[in-house]
A = this chain, B = another copy of it.
Amino acid sequence: MLLTATLLISCPDQKGLIAQITSFLKDNNGNILSLDQYVEASDNRFFMRLRWDLQGFAIDRKEIGQSFHYLIASKCQMQFSLYFSDEKPKMAIFVSKYSHCLFDLLSRVQSGEWNVEVPVVVSNHEDLRTVAEIYGLDFKYFPITEATKLDQELKQMELLQDLKVDFVVLARYMQVLSNQFVMNFPCRLINIHHSFLPAFKGSKPYHSAYERGVKIIGATGHYVTADLDEGPIIEQDVTRVEQNDSIHDLVRKGQDLEKLVLARSVYYHLQRRILVHGNKVINFKS
């Protein structure tokens, strides 16, 4: 397996940036595997994703970050993060009663499609304990009432910290998380909303879509922020509604979309192909 490094970069745009960054690679015998860059016109900000082969790279992997910071980043007001392909992130999954997204995520983990570890499945209901357990995973039940909510969230956060969880996937978790919880996981809390946002925010989007008579329904994978259903959108997809489709059919078609869009959102996150800028996601192609 090829060992690679990935740099995600963000800084004010200026002439010569790409030359500087790629010269850093060249000067250290790095072979670029992919490079994608983007300039946000509205505020003249530069974004880049760079992936290179570590074999033969002149700088020891432990020193790359420091070296890059000293030689490049510090001179350009640059923020960057650095990842290595042999790191295996830890993903917690939050669910309630719907099983379709959980089944889909776990089968991808189990089959080796994704390089990720799932230390725990968390739920406010007992219903999906079996699903987690047939996959050999730890299942933690946190019943939630209005009165216990904040307290239970504190325990959930403690658990996630203990397990060194890197990011959390809300796989149709039917509780609105408190701002405090959300603040603890900036750009590390992925939710699937069962509509084509910004259409049909809030609860019961399939019912609203049916009522409105739309000809297409959608699903949206996004990072969670303090504003409900307003976070940066990672991925969306849609499917067509037929005249004879009942609300039950919309739910059935929609659940297939939810699985697909959530899986793609998690995949992009795992691949480090995403940067968040303001309330928007920059999606790198490669």
Task: Select A238's contact among B15, B22, B216, B252, beta carbons within 8 Å.
Answer: B216
Binding-face segment, A67-75, A152-160, A242-250? A242-250
How many protomers of this protein does the assembly include?
A: 4
Which residues of chain B have C-beta atoms less than 8 A from A164's C-beta?
none
Q: How many residues of A contact B (CB 8 A)?
A: 67
Interface string of A128-141 (1 = CB under 8 A from B): 00010011000000
Q: Is A178 an interface residue (CB 8 A)?
A: no
Q: Is A37 an interface residue (CB 8 A)?
A: yes
Q: Is A117 an interface residue (CB 8 A)?
A: no
Are B99 and A103 closer than 8 Å at their CB atoms?
A: no
With both beta carbons as reference points, the residue of chain B lying nearest to A232 in the complex is identified as B213
Are A18 and B32 closer than 8 Å at their CB atoms?
A: yes
Which residues of chain B have C-beta atoms less than 8 A from A242's C-beta?
285
Q: Is A78 an interface residue (CB 8 A)?
A: no
With both beta carbons as reference points, the residue of chain B lying nearest to A23 in the complex is identified as B19
With both beta carbons as reference points, the residue of chain B lying nearest to A267 in the complex is identified as B252
| A positions within 8 Å CB-CB of B | 15-16, 18-20, 22-23, 25-26, 29-39, 41, 99-100, 103-104, 107, 110-111, 113, 131, 134-135, 196-200, 212-216, 218, 232-233, 235-238, 240, 242-244, 246, 252, 255-256, 260, 263, 279-286
